Amino acid sequence: MRNGERKAGMGAALLALVVVLGAASLRAQDGQWLMYSGSYDSHRFSPLKQIATDNVAKLRPVWVYQPPGTGSIESTPIVADGVMYVTSGPTMVAALDLQSGKALWEWTRPIAASVLNLGFPRVNRGVAIKDGIVYVGTLDGYLVALDAKAGIERWTTHVGENPTGHAITAAPLVVDDKVIVGISGGEAGIRGFLDAYDAKSGKQLWRFWTVPSPGEPGSESWPGDSWVHGGGATWLTGSYDPALRLLFWGTGNPGPDWNGDSRKGDNLYTSSLVAIDVDSGKARWHFQFTPHDVHDWDANQIPLLVDAEVGGRRRSLVVTANRNGFFYALDRRTGEFVYGAPYAKQTWAKGLDDKGRPIEIPGMEPSAKGTLVYPSLQGATNWASPSFSPATAMVYVPVREMGSVYYKTPTEYRPGTYYTGGSEKRLDEESWGAVRALDVKTGRKVWDFALPSPPWAGVMSTAGGLVFSGSNEGNFYALDAASGKPLWQFQTGGAIRSGPMSFLAGGRQHVAVAGGHALFVFALPE
Partner 1 sequence: MRRTPVVLALIIAAASPRAADSQQTGATASPRRTAAAPAGDAAAGRQIFDAQCAWCHGNEGDGGMGPNLHGRLRHATTLASIVDVITSGIPGTDMPSFRSPLTERSIRQAAAYVQSLSRMPARSARGNAEHGMAIYERNGCASCHTIAGRGGTLGPELTSIGSRRGAAHLREAVVKPEATHSPGYLVVRAARTSGPEIRGIRLNEDVFWIHIRDASGAVHALQKSELSSLDRELDASLMPSYASRVSGSDLEDLVAYLTTLRGDK
| Site residues, partner 1 (CB under 8 A) | 71, 113-114, 116-122, 169, 184, 186-187, 233, 235, 257-258, 296, 298, 368, 370, 377-378, 382-383, 401, 407-409, 416-418, 420, 422-426, 428-433, 450-453, 456, 471-475, 477, 486, 489, 491
Is residue 253 within 8 A of residue 168, CB to CB? The reply is no
Choosing from 296, 428, 439, 448, the catalytic residue is 296
Give the number of other Cβ atoms within 10 Å of residue 264's Cβ. 13
Q: Nearer to partner 1 by C-beta: 185 or 335?
A: 185
As a whole number of angstroms, the distance between CA 416 and CA 411 comes to 14
DSSP, res 57: G
As a whole number of angstroms, the distance between CA 27 and CA 319 comes to 26
- In the complex, the smallest distance separating the C-beta of residue 494 from partner 1, rounded to whole angstroms, is 11
Q: Nearer to partner 1 by C-beta: 240 or 407?
A: 407
DSSP, res 361: P
As a whole number of angstroms, the distance between CA 257 and CA 273 comes to 18
DSSP lists the bridge partners of residue 422 as 408
Q: Nearer to partner 1 by C-beta: 118 or 179?
A: 118
- In the complex, the smallest distance separating the C-beta of residue 294 from partner 1, rounded to whole angstroms, is 12
DSSP, res 50: S
DSSP string, 181-229: EE-B-TTTT-B-EEEEEETTT--EEEEEESSPPTTSTTGGGS-TTGGGG
- In the complex, the smallest distance separating the C-beta of residue 452 from partner 1, rounded to whole angstroms, is 5
- In the complex, the smallest distance separating the C-beta of residue 116 from partner 1, rounded to whole angstroms, is 5
As a whole number of angstroms, the distance between CA 226 and CA 205 comes to 27
Q: Nearer to partner 1 by C-beta: 118 or 174?
A: 118
Q: Nearer to partner 1 by C-beta: 77 or 231?
A: 231
DSSP lists the bridge partners of residue 197 as 179, 204
- In the complex, the smallest distance separating the C-beta of residue 364 from partner 1, rounded to whole angstroms, is 17
- In the complex, the smallest distance separating the C-beta of residue 39 from partner 1, rounded to whole angstroms, is 24
As a whole number of angstroms, the distance between CA 338 and CA 312 comes to 12
C-alpha distances (whole Å) from 147 to each of 9, 130, 133, 153, 202 are 37, 10, 5, 6, 14
296 is catalytic: yes
> Which positions ≥6 away from 457 have C-beta within 8 Å?
384, 398, 469, 470, 471, 472, 496, 497, 498, 499, 500, 513
> Length of the chain, please?
526
As a whole number of angstroms, the distance between CA 478 and CA 460 comes to 9
- In the complex, the smallest distance separating the C-beta of residue 162 from partner 1, rounded to whole angstroms, is 11
Q: Nearer to partner 1 by C-beta: 290 or 509?
A: 290
Q: Nearer to partner 1 by C-beta: 40 or 490?
A: 490
Catalytic residue annotation: 296
